[in-house]
């Protein structure tokens, strides 16, 4: 009896059966799926990173546009308050002489619009130069503000003075503050860019000169046109 027990203890355990073909196929398929999933996650991360970066830049530009529009809204509140004050004082203004009425009422009201027009113009130019989408509603709103203010000024015979690039310099209405060097002699003395629009009342009274930069001819060796010569800057629509 004891001898039989020893024989059972010393007997080697049965060998495990090798996995069948289907088991091997299943294991290989699971490993392939795991590798493909890891590779897909890596590719997705590479594609998503620049997309998130571009989306963040667009959001920043839109936020800047909202800040600029908020500044315009505050300026409009000042304008509405001034216009209301003007309406309430219409009876008293009728008693004033024409010269006194123009100097004390009309011109101060008109000059109060200059900063608003400057904001609109600067916003439109900065959006264009940034090359980033800020939304059609923002550009349409800025265009509408510009048009309405221009029509309002025309009621008081005030015109916006703004010239496109390559226009001839007119010392009566322009104030040059900067010179862009160019090797193109035909551009010498022409307007390179409108930096700030001007205003005039009628043909004989300049309320504010247009600030411009001019091209200045500088002969150089063989070269290509400068970036200033190729620039098509946005300018106000008169």
Q: Are 201 and 223 in contact (CB under 8 A)?
A: no
**Chain Cα centroid distance, residue 129:** 7
**Which one is predicted more confidently, 103 or 213?**
213
Instruction: Give CATH for domain 161-233.
Output: 2.30.22.10
Angle at 118 between CA 122 and CA 156, to 5 degrees: 145
Of 171, 172, 173, nearest in space to 196 by CA: 173
How far apart, in whole angstroms, are the C-alpha atoms of residue 228 and residue 217?
12
| Mean per-residue pLDDT, 20-45 | 68
Per-residue pLDDT tens digits for 62-90: 777 777 777 777 777 777 777 677 666 66
Contact 99, 138 (CB under 8 A): no
pLDDT of 20 strictly over 80:
no
Q: Which of 141-145, 168-172, 208-212, 213-217 has the lowest mean pLDDT?
A: 141-145
pTM, entire model = 0.55
Residue 150 tokens, joined: 């221009």
For the chain, what is the mean pLDDT?
Answer: 76
Which position has the higher pLDDT, 32 or 232? 32
Strand partners, 210: 174
pLDDT of residue 210: 96
Predicted confidence (pLDDT) at residue 31 exceeds the cutoff of 90: no
pLDDT at 232: 42
pLDDT for position 184: 92
The 3-class secondary structure across the chain, one letter per residue, is CHHHHHHHHHCCCCCCCCCCHHHHHHHHHHHHHHHHHHHHHHHHHHHHHHHHHHHHHHHHHHHHHHHHHHHHHHHHHHHHHHHHHHHHCHHHHHCCCHHHHHHHHHHHHHHCCHHHHHHHHHHHHHHHHHCCCCCHHHHHHHHHHHHHHHHHHHCCCEEEECCCCCCECCCCCEEEEEEEEECCHHHCCEEEEEEECEEEECCCEEEECEEEEEEEECCCCCCCCCHHHHCCCCCCCC
180-231 residue pLDDT tens: 999 999 999 999 999 999 999 988 899 999 999 999 998 875 444 444 444 4
**Mean pLDDT: which of 54-68, 126-140, 195-209 is highest?**
195-209
pLDDT of 6 reads 54
């Amino acid at each position: 009896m004891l001898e039989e027990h020893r024989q059972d203890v010393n007997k080697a355990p049965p060998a495990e059966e090798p996995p069948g073909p289907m088991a091997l196929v299943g294991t290989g398929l699971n490993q392939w799926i795991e590798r493909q999933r890891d590779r897909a996650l890596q590719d997705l991360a590479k594609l998503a990173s620049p997309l998130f970066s571009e989306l963040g830049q667009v959001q920043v530009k839109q936020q800047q546009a909202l800040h600029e529009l908020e500044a315009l809204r505050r300026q409009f509140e000042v304008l509405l308050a001034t216009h209301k004050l003007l309406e309430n004082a219409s009876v008293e203004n009728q008693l004033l002489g024409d010269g006194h009425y123009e100097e004390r009422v009309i011109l101060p009201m008109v000059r109060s619009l200059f900063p608003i027009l400057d904001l609109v113009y600067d916003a439109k130019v900065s959006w264009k130069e940034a090359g980033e989408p800020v939304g059609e509603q923002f550009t349409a709103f800025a265009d509408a503000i510009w048009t309405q203010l221009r029509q309002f000024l025309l009621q008081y015979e005030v015109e916006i003075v703004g010239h496109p690039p390559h226009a001839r310099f007119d010392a009566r209405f322009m104030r040059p503050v900067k010179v862009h060097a160019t090797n193109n002699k035909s551009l010498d003395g022409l307007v390179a860019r409108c930096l700030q629009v001007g205003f005039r009342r009628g043909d004989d009274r300049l309320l504010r000169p247009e600030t411009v930069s001019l091209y200045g001819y500088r002969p150089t060796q063989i070269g290509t046109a400068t970036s200033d010569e190729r620039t098509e800057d946005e300018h106000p629509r008169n």
